[in-house]
Amino acid sequence: MSAHETATDFRLIDSTLRDGSHAVSHRFSAEEVRRVVAGLDAAGVPVIEVTHGDGMGGSSFNYGFSHTPETDLLKVAVETATQATIAVLFVPGIGVKDDLRQAADLGVGMARVATHCTEADIAEQHIALTKELGMEAIGFLMMAHMILPEALAEQARKMASYGADVVYVTDSAGAMTVDDFKRRVAAVKGAVDVGVGVHAHNNLSLAVANSLGALEEGATNVDGCATGLGAGAGNCSTEILVATSDKLGLRTGVDTFAMMDAAEECVRPLRPEMGVIDRDGLMLGYAGVYGSFLLHARKAAQRYGVQTRDILVELGRRGMVGGQEDMIIDVALALRDGRVEA
């Protein structure tokens, strides 16, 4: 399969250098970004996302500080890519409009504007600005397992009405089964006249299956991370998705063997153990907890002498979502002091 084949059955977007940032505590160096972008670009990956795991402006006490300023990483990514579009994640309230302007100035071609699945309305001005700046606008509905398909479809309509070119069903907690995913994709597909994308986490070991199920329902964009590098138990593995698609006769435009090489040689050394779904990673999917909470929960468990699993179960019970990382400490203290039953 040619790395530069133009006719494809879906567009692959690789988030190794964004979602994978969670897995390495946001410690990517400029040289690591250069190496990974070069490998993915040579394999024919059409879009490569690069930012702090929590998006532009995410480097902070609350979310974790970056090793290298994201503008430096974006410069390297844009300079290195010969055919791939460089994308950023943008969460209103974490990032500000000037971050989008700066991304456009650096040569970024796509911004993925992300909100909680019930809060599409806060993305209106940022999607509009993305379009004004000449970038493709993707609407990202996070934690999509938390609402019914019909409600998700209504939120997708809002993002499409604001100008989003694609709207995403995002399983941030890796909590959905194949049927869960298919029903939500079908509902969104029937509600909008723009493309539909999916972003799957592997906490229940269903990320590739969920992505393939989404394609059956008409998804046009699918996310992956090389070696599955990402928050929680990781993401849909790009190289496995590409290889499986190849076997199924689905055209990705990505060279299967070159993608395997990029994953093994450029990404695997960053975290060799990635891909193992341990007890805590599984608990994220079981409890429906945001993937980026895992490392924070582990640190809090060690600090306060409680079990990570108990923290995750209570976070899920409370319905915590991205942006509420401070509640991890609150829950850990409550467990330690007996104010919550383990």
> Within this chain, do residues 266 and 297 fall inside the same structural domain, yes or no?
no
> Within this chain, do residues 87 and 176 fall inside the same structural domain, yes or no?
yes
Per residue in 202-236, pLDDT (tens digit) is: 999 999 999 999 999 999 999 999 999 999 899 99
The predicted structure's pLDDT at residue 97 = 97
Cβ neighbours, 10 Å, residue 121? 11
Q: How many domains does the chain have?
A: 2
In whole angstroms, what is the distance from residue 258 CA to residue 135 CA?
28
In whole angstroms, what is the distance from residue 194 CA to residue 172 CA?
22
Q: Model's pTM, two decimal places?
A: 0.88
210 within some domain: yes
75 within some domain: yes
5 within some domain: no
In whole angstroms, what is the distance from residue 206 CA to residue 244 CA?
14
**Which of these, 7, 6, 9, 1, lies nearest to 220 by C-alpha position?**
9
Q: Domain with 298 in it: what CATH number? A: 1.10.8.60
Query: Is 22 a known active-site residue?
Result: yes
**Structural domain range at position 152:** 11-270
> Within this chain, do residues 229 and 182 fall inside the same structural domain, yes or no?
yes
> Within this chain, do residues 226 and 300 fall inside the same structural domain, yes or no?
no
116 within some domain: yes
The predicted structure's pLDDT at residue 165 = 98
**Which of these, 77, 97, 95, 79, lies nearest to 87 by C-alpha position?**
77
The token pair at 48 is: 């490569």
189 within some domain: yes
Give the active site residue among 4, 22, 126, 199: 22
Phi-psi region of 321 (alpha: psi -120 to 50; beta: other; left: phi over 0): beta
> Within this chain, do residues 323 and 249 fall inside the same structural domain, yes or no?
no
> Within this chain, do residues 82 and 218 fall inside the same structural domain, yes or no?
yes
Low-confidence ranges of the chain (pLDDT < 50): 1-5
83 within some domain: yes
The token pair at 34 is: 């250069």
**Which of these, 121, 24, 111, 10, lies nearest to 67 by C-alpha position?**
24
> Within this chain, do residues 153 and 221 fall inside the same structural domain, yes or no?
yes
> Within this chain, do residues 64 and 197 fall inside the same structural domain, yes or no?
yes
> Within this chain, do residues 264 and 316 fall inside the same structural domain, yes or no?
no
CA 322, 326, 329, 332 torsion-angle sign:
negative
Q: Domain with 186 in it: what CATH number? A: 3.20.20.70
> Within this chain, do residues 47 and 97 fall inside the same structural domain, yes or no?
yes
2 within some domain: no
227 within some domain: yes
Query: Cα separations (Å) of 50 from 16, 30, 154, 200, 225?
Result: 8, 11, 29, 17, 12
> Within this chain, do residues 321 and 213 fall inside the same structural domain, yes or no?
no
> Within this chain, do residues 39 and 94 fall inside the same structural domain, yes or no?
yes
The predicted structure's pLDDT at residue 161 = 98
